[in-house]
């Protein structure tokens, strides 16, 4: 079979994934959700309170259709709407659609994305995690209206939207995504621009995958699956939303003090998204958990800027 047919079939497979609560395996995640080696519908019920982390349910239960489009409406005035095009591009607000997001999220539900519970199922940060991911993506919409700019020139020079958050412009990270997702993004980054499900899938892959070996993923630090070491404590790195910025962006935003505009912008998106999906923003925690302003960065340099 010629290669040109491989990617269309691969992308079609993403689109055809069921979006209900049937579990689907992603090709790679760095760390399975604790407790999910057994029947995931029962794993939380079988855990004692305070015992640890388990997975249950599905993302579509945590974030409903109307809630998602409420989030999308925040970007409507800043994105480019292109009704004349037969197929929405990543520059269009129509690219930001619920079905594509839920289809992609289903790949990582078994590993706890949006479905993690703590303390024997008594505490669920799943809905908050979805808000956190979308806040990172949403905060990258530029004032020029270049929503989800994934053109080739943008990849080579600057990054906006999905390209900024999901994946480094370094060939290494394109290669890693290519291996893990079985789509040739190394040679064809434009596939992300052409398929919303694939774009969301790569975004979640970036969220779930550590930037470097022996470092946590944004998912791990957000849900508390990562336990700070003594060195982390000295560096003021703690489990919470703020450290997701440290994981994803390093010293490009973190450790610069409370006046760093990029950090404050991402935090505001996160809090506003929590409001929109019906979660009290007070549950996000105090400012030191929300910000990485005083944290020592994990990495001295990451190829992307927020």
| Rounded CA separation 149/72 (Å) | 16
pLDDT, tens digit, for every residue of 129-142?
A: 999 998 888 776 54
Do 107 and 26 contact (CB within 8 A), yes or no?
A: yes
| Cβ-count burial 83-94 (b if 16+ within 10 Å, e if not) | eeeeebbbbbbb
Name the pTM for this structure. 0.74
Phi, psi of 217 (to 5 degrees): -85, 165
CA atoms within a 13 Å half-sphere pointing along the CA-CB vector of 45 = 6
pLDDT, tens digit, for every residue of 166-218?
A: 444 344 466 777 788 888 887 887 787 788 888 888 889 889 888 887 889 99
| Rounded CA separation 149/128 (Å) | 26
For residue 203, the model assigns a pLDDT of 86
Which domains, and CATH codes, for the chain?
A: 28-290 (1.10.530.10)
Higher pLDDT, 228 or 57: 228
CA atoms within a 13 Å half-sphere pointing along the CA-CB vector of 60 = 17
pLDDT, average across residues 208-231: 89
pLDDT, tens digit, for every residue of 123-173?
A: 567 889 999 998 888 776 543 333 233 333 333 333 334 444 444 434 446
For residue 53, the model assigns a pLDDT of 62
| Rounded CA separation 262/279 (Å) | 23
Among 77-91, 208-222, 238-252, whose mean pLDDT is lowest?
77-91
Give the mean pLDDT of the chain.
69
């Amino acid at each position: 079979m010629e290669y040109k047919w491989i990617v269309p079939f691969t992308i079609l497979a993403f689109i055809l994934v069921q979006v209900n609560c049937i579990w689907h395996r992603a090709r790679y995640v760095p760390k399975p959700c604790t407790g999910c080696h057994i029947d995931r519908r029962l794993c939380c019920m079988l855990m004692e309170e305070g015992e640890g982390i388990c997975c249950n349910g599905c993302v579509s239960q945590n974030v409903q259709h109307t809630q998602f489009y409420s989030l999308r409406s925040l970007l409507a005035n800043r994105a480019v709407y292109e009704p004349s095009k037969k197929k929405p591009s990543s520059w269009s607000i129509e690219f930001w659609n619920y079905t594509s997001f839920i289809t992609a999220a289903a790949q990582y539900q078994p590993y706890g994305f949006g479905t993690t519970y703590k303390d024997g199922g008594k505490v669920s940060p799943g809905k908050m995690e979805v808000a956190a991911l979308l806040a990172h993506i949403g905060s990258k919409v530029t004032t020029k209206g270049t929503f989800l700019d994934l053109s080739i020139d943008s990849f080579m020079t600057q990054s906006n939207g999905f390209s900024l958050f999901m994946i480094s412009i370094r060939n290494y990270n394109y290669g890693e995504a290519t291996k893990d997702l079985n789509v040739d993004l190394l040679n064809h980054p434009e596939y992300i621009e052409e398929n919303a499900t694939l774009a969301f899938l790569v975004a979640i892959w970036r969220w779930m995958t550590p930037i470097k070996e022996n470092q946590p993923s944004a998912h791990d630090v957000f849900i508390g699956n990562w336990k700070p070491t003594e060195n982390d404590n000295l560096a003021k790195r703690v489990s919470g939303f703020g450290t997701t910025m440290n994981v994803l962006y390093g010293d490009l935003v973190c450790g610069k003090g409370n006046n760093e505009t990029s950090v404050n912008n991402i935090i505001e998106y996160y809090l506003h998204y929590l409001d929109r999906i019906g979660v009290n923003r007070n549950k996000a925690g105090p400012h030191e958990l929300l910000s990485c302003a005083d944290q020592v960065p994990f990495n001295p340099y990451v190829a992307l800027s927020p």
